[in-house]
C-alpha cells in the first residue's frame, strides 16, 4: 500500500492500516511490522514507545542508563491510570498497552527480533554511528533502522550499515504522545518501500506523517522554529522585552500553543545549546552560535522542565 497514490485519500489509508494491524501487523516487504524496538528511553523515546504500545505494537524500550529506564517506566505507571481516570483510555486499553511494552537495558534482547528500530538517543553523530553499526549486526535482515534525530540526517549514518536502503529519519515532536506530526525524511539511500512503510506506521500510531523527499538540515519544523527562537533570544538579549512578554506575544498574536521560551523549557535548553554549538562548529555560521543567555543556562544546568528550572521554574518537576 502506498500512501501517496491511494485513490481514496487519507482516511481510507488510516482504516486500511488499522485493518492490517488487526490482522497482526504491517507489511515490510514480505515481513510485517509487529515488533518495535526503541533505543533511548529519554523524553522522546519513552513517549514514542508508549504511543506504539497503545497502537498495538509489541514494544521493547532500551537504554544504557538504568536511571533513565526507571524514570521511563515510572512515567508509564503514572500516566496510564491518569488517562483512565480522565476517561481518555479504557482499563482494557491500558492493560493491553502495559502488556505490549517492556523495558530492558539489554540492547541485543530489545533489537534482535524487532521489525523496526527507532533510535532516540543523544544527538551525537559518532555515538549514533556506533549504535547503528551494532544494530545492523544484531537485527534481522528485513529490519528498518530509523533515527528520531532532529538534526542529523540519516545519510550521515546509513553507510555504517549493510542495509542503507532501510535507514531513514523518522522525526517525532515533543511531547510525542500528543503531537500529531511526524516527519519522514528520505535520504538518497532510503528505498521508496522503507519510506512508505514508515509513513504507514505513523498513520497506524494515529499520527499524520509528512514526507520530505530530500534531506535538509532541521527538516521542515525545526527550520521554522529556529527562526522564531533566534529572533526571540535576540529580542531578549537586547533587553527589548522579557521572556514572558515575548511568549505572551507569540501565543496571543501568532496563536502558537506556547511561546518560544516555554517551548525551549519543554524540549530542553541543553539541546538548544548542544545542537546550536555543533552546527556552529560544522558551518562556522554565527547564526547558530548559542547566545550568552543559552550558554549561561546550559552551564548552570537550568535546562528547563527536566532540571526544574529554565526560563521558568518547575518546582514539582
Q: Which residues are catalytic?
A: 150, 171, 183, 222
Least distance CB 149 / ligand CAA (angstroms)? 8
Q: What is the DSSP string of 192-238?
A: HHHHHHHHHHHHHTT-EEEEESS--TTTTHHHHHHHHHHHHHHHHHT
Would you say 26 or 225 has its CB closer to ligand CAA?
Answer: 225
Whichever of 13 and 176 has its CB closer to ligand CAA, that residue is 176
Q: Which residue is nearest to ligand CAA (CB)?
A: 150
Minimum CB separation of residue 96 from ligand CAA in Å reads 18
Compute the least distance from the CB of residue 108 to ligand CAA, in Å: 27
Judged by beta carbon, residue 161 or residue 222, the one nearer ligand CAA is: 222
Burial of 283 (0-12, 13-18, 19+ CB in 10 A): exposed
Shortest Å distance, C-beta 112 to ligand CAA: 28
Residues in Cβ contact with 8 at an 8 Å cutoff, skipping those fewer than 6 apart: none
Cell numbers that stand for 239 in this block: 533587553
Contact positions vs ligand CAA (CB under 6 A): 86, 88, 150, 173-175, 177-179, 222, 225, 257-258, 263, 267
> Left if phi > 0, otherwise alpha if psi is -120 to 50, otherwise beta: which for 275?
alpha
The minimum distance between CB 231 and ligand CAA, in angstroms, equals 16
**What is the per-residue DSSP string for 67-104?**
HHHHHHHHHHHHHHHHHHHTTSS-HHHHHHHHHHEEEE
Q: Which is nearer to ligand CAA, 143 or 147 (CB)?
A: 147
- Distance (Å, whole) CA 281 – CA 269: 18
The CA R_g of the chain, rounded to the nearest whole Å, is: 20
Cα atoms found within 13 Å of the Cα of residue 65, Cβ hemisphere only: 10
Residue 177 Cβ, how far from ligand CAA at the closest point, in Å? 4
Q: Which of 76, 72, 128 is nearest to 105 (CA)?
A: 72
Residue carrying the nine cell digits 543559552: 294
Beta strands in the chain (DSSP E): 26-28, 31-33, 35-39, 58-62, 101-104, 116-119, 144-147, 167-172, 181-185, 208-212
Of 138 and 233, CB closest to ligand CAA: 233
Residue recorded with cell 543567555: 293
* Bond into 175 cis (ω within 30): yes
What's the closest the beta carbon of residue 14 comes to ligand CAA, in angstroms? 19
173 or 201: CB nearest ligand CAA: 173
Residue with smaller CB distance to ligand CAA, 175 or 292: 175
Amino acid at each position: 500500500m502506498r500512501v501517496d497514490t491511494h485513490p481514496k485519500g487519507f482516511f481510507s489509508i488510516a482504516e486500511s492500516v488499522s485493518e492490517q494491524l488487526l490482522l497482526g501487523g504491517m507489511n515490510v516487504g514480505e515481513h510485517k511490522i509487529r515488533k518495535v524496538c526503541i533505543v533511548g528511553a529519554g523524553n522522546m523515546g519513552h513517549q514514542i514507545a508508549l504511543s506504539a504500545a497503545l497502537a498495538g505494537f509489541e514494544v521493547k524500550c532500551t537504554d544504557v542508563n538504568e536511571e533513565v529506564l526507571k524514570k521511563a517506566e515510572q512515567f508509564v505507571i503514572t500516566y496510564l491510570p491518569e488517562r483512565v481516570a480522565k476517561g481518555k483510555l479504557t482499563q482494557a486499553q491500558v492493560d493491553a498497552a502495559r502488556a505490549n511494552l517492556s523495558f530492558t537495558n539489554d540492547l541485543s534482547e530489545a533489537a534482535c527480533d524487532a521489525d523496526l528500530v527507532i533510535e532516540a538517543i543523544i544527538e551525537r553523530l559518532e555515538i549514533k554511528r556506533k549504535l547503528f553499526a551494532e544494530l545492523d549486526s544484531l537485527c534481522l535482515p528485513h529490519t528498518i533502522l530509523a533515527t528520531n534525530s532532529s538534526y542529523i540526517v540519516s545519510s550521515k549514518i546509513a553507510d555504517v550499515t549493510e542495509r542503507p536502503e532501510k535507514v531513514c529519519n523518522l522525526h517525532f515532536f515533543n511531547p510525542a504522545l500528543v503531537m500529531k506530526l511526524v516527519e519522514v525524511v528520505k535520504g538518497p539511500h532510503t528505498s521508496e518501500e522503507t519510506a512508505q512503510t514508515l509513513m504507514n506506521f505513523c498513520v497506524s500510531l494515529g499520527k499524520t506523517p509528512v514526507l520530505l523527499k530530500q534531506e535538509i538540515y532541521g527538516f521542515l519544523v525545526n527550520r521554522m522554529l529556529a527562526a522564531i527562537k533566534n529572533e526571540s533570544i535576540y529580542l531578549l538579549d537586547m533587553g527589548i522585552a522579557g521572556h514572558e512578554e515575548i511568549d505572551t506575544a507569540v501565543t496571543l498574536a501568532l496563536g502558537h500553543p506556547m511561546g518560544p521560551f516555554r517551548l525551549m523549557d519543554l524540549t530542553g535548553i541543553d539541546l538548544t545549546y548542544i545542537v546550536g554549538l555543533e552546527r556552529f562548529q560544522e558551518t562556522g555560521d554565527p547564526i547558530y552560535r548559542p547566545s550568552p543567555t543559552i550558554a549561561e543556562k546550559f552551564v548552570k544546568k537550568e535546562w528547563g522542565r527536566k532540571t526544574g528550572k529554565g526560563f521558568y521554574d518547575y518546582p514539582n518537576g
